[in-house]
Amino acid sequence: MTRNDAFLSEVTGRCVAGRMLRASRLITRHYDDALRPTGLTITQFGLLHVIGKYEPESISQVADMMNLDRTSLSRNLKPLEKAGFVHRGNEGGQRRRRVLLTTLGLKKLEEARPYWKTAQEQVEAALGEIHLANLTQALRQVRNDTLKA
């Protein structure tokens, strides 16, 4: 089963990034599957939610909240803008372009929410209260300042 043991070590088992990525792939697929009837991905759903809920001042602020690179966010917004779910204002000149949820975007969010809820409850059930609590607590500890230190 295992070869080259002299050189290759226990990375698979210990690497936090590996575990995280493997889990993320399953989780995102699970939510994406559930949301498919709405045409949204879980990333898009979360993004719309944050924009609608916090009405952020700038793109960068949203990016910070999501631990997402600003340029990635800029690109993630494109399909949402194209679909008419968000609107990027140009009020204050070119700088500080606000992002706003449109009426259509809010409607889409409401439409998607039950699908999200189903997926969420399935995940919560699959994990069980203990694991869910542990996961939440541990992930909360994964912050920029803890890693930078």
Partner DNA sequence: TGCCTTTTAGTGTATATGCACGTTATTCGG
Partner DNA sequence: CCGAATAACGTGCATATACACTAAAAGGCA
Query: Which of 21, 133 has the CB closer to DNA?
Result: 21
Query: Which of 94, 141 has the CB closer to a copy of itself?
Result: 141
Task: Determine the residue type at 127.
Answer: L
Residue 38 interacting with DNA (CB under 7 A): no
Residue 33 interacting with DNA (CB under 7 A): yes
Report, in Å, the least distance between residue 139 CB and a copy of itself.
5
The 3-state secondary structure of 53-86, one letter per residue: HHCCCCHHHHHHHHCCCHHHHHHHHHHHHHCCCE
- Judged by CB under 8 A, the stretch of 76-84, 87-95, 136-144 that binds a copy of itself is 136-144
Closest by alpha carbon to 131, among 142, 123, 121, 143?
123
Figure out which of the listed residues 60, 62, 106, 118 binds a copy of itself, where binding follows CB under 8 A.
Answer: 106
Residue 104 interacting with a copy of itself (CB under 8 A): no
Report, in Å, the least distance between residue 6 CB and a copy of itself.
10
Decide which of DNA, a copy of itself, none touches 71; Cβ closer than 5 to 8 Å per partner kind. DNA
Cα distance between residue 149 and residue 147, in whole Å: 5
Task: Determine the residue type at 142.
Answer: V
Cα distance between residue 29 and residue 41, in whole Å: 9
Torsion, Cα of 134, 136, 142, 144 (10° steps): -160
Residues that bind DNA (CB under 7 A): 21, 25, 28-29, 32-33, 41, 43-44, 58-61, 67-72, 74-76, 79, 82, 88, 92-97
